[in-house]
Amino acid sequence: MNFSNTTAEVTQNLIEAGEGKVKRPLHKMILLGILAGMLIGAGAMASSVAIHDISNTGIARLVAGLVFPIGFVMMVLFCGELFTGACLMIIGVLKGRYKVSDMIRVLIVVFISNLIGGILFAILVAFSGQFKYSDGLMGAFTIKLALSKANIPFGSALISGILCNFFVCLGVVMAGLSKDISGKVLASFLPIMTFVTGGFEHCVANMFYIPAGIFAAGNSKYAEVAMTKYGITAEKLATLNWKNFLLTNELPVTIGNIIGGMLFIGVVMYIVYSKE
- The pLDDT score that the predictor gives to residue 263 is 97
| Res. 3 pLDDT band, cuts 50 70 90 | confident
Enumerate domains of the chain plus CATH numbers.
Answer: 7-273 (1.20.1080.10)
Nearest to 162 by CA among 132, 203, 124: 203
pLDDT in tens, 243-263: 999 999 999 999 999 999 999
Q: Decide if pLDDT at 115 tops 90.
A: yes
Q: What is the pTM of this model?
A: 0.96
Residues 6+ apart with CB under 8 A from 170: 191, 265
Chain CA centroid to CA 66, Å: 15
pLDDT at site 276: 61
* Nearest C-alpha neighbor of 206 from the set 259, 242, 235: 242
